[in-house]
Amino acid sequence: MLSRAAKSSTSVLIRHSAKRYLQTTSTCALRCSHVRGKSQIQPTQQRLNVPQRGVVTHSVQNFQFLGRRYASTSVPVPPMAESLTEGSLKEFTKNVGDYIAQDDLLATIETDKIDIEVISPVSGTITKLNFKPDDTVTVGEELAQIEPGEAPAGGAAAETAPPAEAAPAETASKEEAAPATPPPAAPVAKSQPKKDVAAPKPAAAPKQETTAPASFTPFARNESKVKMNRMRLRIAERLKESQNTAASLTTFNEVDMTALLEMRKLYKDEIIKKTGTKFGFMGLFSKAVTLAAKDIPSVNGAIEGDHIVYRDYTDISIAVATPKGLVTPVVRNAESLDVLGIEQEIVRLSQKARDGKLTLEDMTGGTFTISNGGVFGSLYGTPIINMPQTAVLGLHGVKERPVTINGQIVSRPMMYLALTYDHRLLDGREAVTFLRTIKELIEDPRKMLLW
């Protein structure tokens, strides 16, 4: 039998052990509550009189913040085309923290052929931009993150502003509370004279200005280096590929434009009233190409490995100059369109090219190219084949020149034509015949109705 003193000491030990156990259990529960963001341990806290409600509430706020963070929508680099897997980021239209509406333009990506617009999939606030302008981006990479939500109102902006200002206030109060320490300032003051002593070294710069170029010219001779955009790089690559691959040869002819100019003068006003399209040269030349290609199908063909591909359709690539470089949108099935239909399609594609709105579908394909350097005043030139095509027709400026007709020297509006062709597929006889046929159709456009 235990004595009364032993019993009392034993009961005291049991109470202390139970109290420690409850405190340990309460601490574990509070940690679990802090992680899960729930206040399931509040009954135990009430028994132990531990005021931990603030901690639990803070955990819930953290949990809610993390929930909002993981709810952000990722904006990937969109697909471009089968042959394009990367591009250069041209610009972002918004900054981090800005609000953007759904379907608004977020960024522009520059590719080898066109500019691709990245549209915002949701409305919300931009929380992250992963790239900078001129960075290379790959299809599927995360371009930005957007936290979905409504546009911030004036009241919401005012509520969010004070927390941002509170941090500097706290920092300022801490700086005021910190005692001034003159000793650190003294080394800085001592080190400044040393910097001042070293400062006169840049005075040697004027000696560098008296360089050799200044001795023989009083004019400025500045140079600047600008990075080539992706389209210009691609154009350079394609043109060099053409020179290295094709056995290029150019044949020339000249065409009397009198009949075509008279036809245009007679019907241009009527055509504008009926269709709203300006009647130019490109529609007639394109139609002449499709008709001449029926007699010389190799012009519309292509070499693929050790095979020749012949086509029963003609997709004409029209060279259009844009501020970023030369592009060649395609008029599809030109052989099935009339002259006005071709002209309208050329006007539509040319406008899209100048506005930077061409799509990859507008640029894909093409079996023959027409380049009109005459709009810039070109008199004579040799165009380069647009691979993997076989030939390209170059048009030039219309100039009044003296020519002999029926033994008489008369002045006529003349244009030089140039046909550059791949001699691997097209022989000289076929190339000359093709170009002569175009000449005959342009000099007498009525023949196009009989072809």
Catalytic positions, written as ranges: 423, 427
Q: For residues 261 and 284, give the distance between their C-alpha atoms in angstroms, rounded to a whole number.
A: 11
* Nearest residue to 250 via CA among 86, 98, 117, 371: 371
Query: Bridge partners of 250?
Result: 420
CA angle 123-124-125, nearest 5°? 150
Contacts 24+ apart (CB under 8 A), 163-166: none
Distance CA 401, CA 409 (A): 10
Nearest to 84 by CA among 362, 360, 365: 360
The tally of CA atoms less than 13 A away on the side-chain side of residue 24 is 6
E strand or H helix at 61, and its extent? Answer: helix 53-70
Q: Half-sphere exposure (CA, 13 Å, Cβ side) for 186?
A: 4
Residue showing tokens 């960024």: 107
- Evaluate whether 389 touches 302 at the Cβ level (below 8 Å): yes
CB 310 within 8 A of CB 300: yes
CB 393 within 8 A of CB 371: yes
Lookup: tokens for 440: 């005959």
Distance CA 267, CA 249 (A): 37
Q: 230 phi and psi, to 5 degrees?
A: -65, -35
Distance of alpha carbon 82 from alpha carbon 416, whole angstroms? 39
Tell me the two tokens of residue 264.
């245009």
